[in-house]
Amino acid sequence: MKLCVLGIGRMGLPMARRLCAAGHTVQVWNRTRAKAEALAAVGAQVHDTPAAAVAEAEAVVCLLEDGPVVAQVLFELGAADAMPPGSLVIDMSSIKPAEARAHAELLAQRGVSHLDAPVSGGTVGAEAGTLAIMVGGDAADFERAAPVFAALGRATHVGPHGAGQLTKLANQMIVGITIGAVAEALLLAERGGAHMAKVREAITGGFADSQVLQVHGQRMVERDFAPRARMTVQLKDLRNALDTASALGFDAPVTALFERLYAQAIADGLADLDHAALFVELARRNGMT
């Protein structure tokens, strides 16, 4: 397919590289051009504007910071108006469901289709092509996007426009809350005299086991909080979940508690660390270094 990727960051770079390796013709744009230049070596063409990048694309993949940035790139910087009629936007950014629905409506007015298709799996999944992709939109457009998704991971059509983003919020609620549960439990075990690494090993395979225990729990054991998914991104997702819950008249007290914990961690200087660094905030509260 003739593809375009808008946003070449921590996720966009490996995902665009995989699309090139899969044989697609890939055009790319990033606000800071230097971040996209590395893709020229694998066959991508780098552009100075999003409008130039999308001009001949059958599908445009967005991997941008948040909903307002997606709206700016599509509707203020000229991308949507430059896309060919009948083309498809596959927005893999993590934004609010309401924003995704609004973007779909504005694109439809221009004769352009839309899927909201956020992902889970982090940079490791992006590099390996094992992302979980949650897709909202029309079933026919989901089928059209199959060659794109095949290079990136496992895609599931979960409902109409906005449903992909709603699923991603559910994912981020579970991840953010589980990180807190793992951190608090491991710290309690250590305070009581147990060996943290052995506690994690002992509960592996039981009902408490999870990908979070395995990956983030190991980071906690090793005190390795180099950013893969930043604290600030986790907080953004929890706040988007709470905004969505409020709009639906849904009470989410557990998510609200963790929104406050992540916000305090960021206020305490942990903004640039991995979201597993909630461990550091909980350790600080208990006087544990």
| Count of CB atoms situated within 10 Å of the CB of 220 | 26
Do strands 25-29 and 2-6 pair parallel, antiparallel, or not at all (unpaired)?
A: parallel
1's enclosing H/E stretch is none
> What's the full length of the chain, in residues?
289
Amino acid at 31: R
Sorted by sequence, the CB contacts under 8 Å of residue 208 that are 6+ apart come out as 185
Looking at 96, 168, 198, 236, which residue is catalytic?
Answer: 168
Active site residue 96: no
Are the beta carbons of 53 and 29 closer than 8 angstroms? yes
What are φ and ψ of residue 141, in 5° steps?
-70, -35
Amino acid at 240: N
Q: Which residues are catalytic?
A: 168
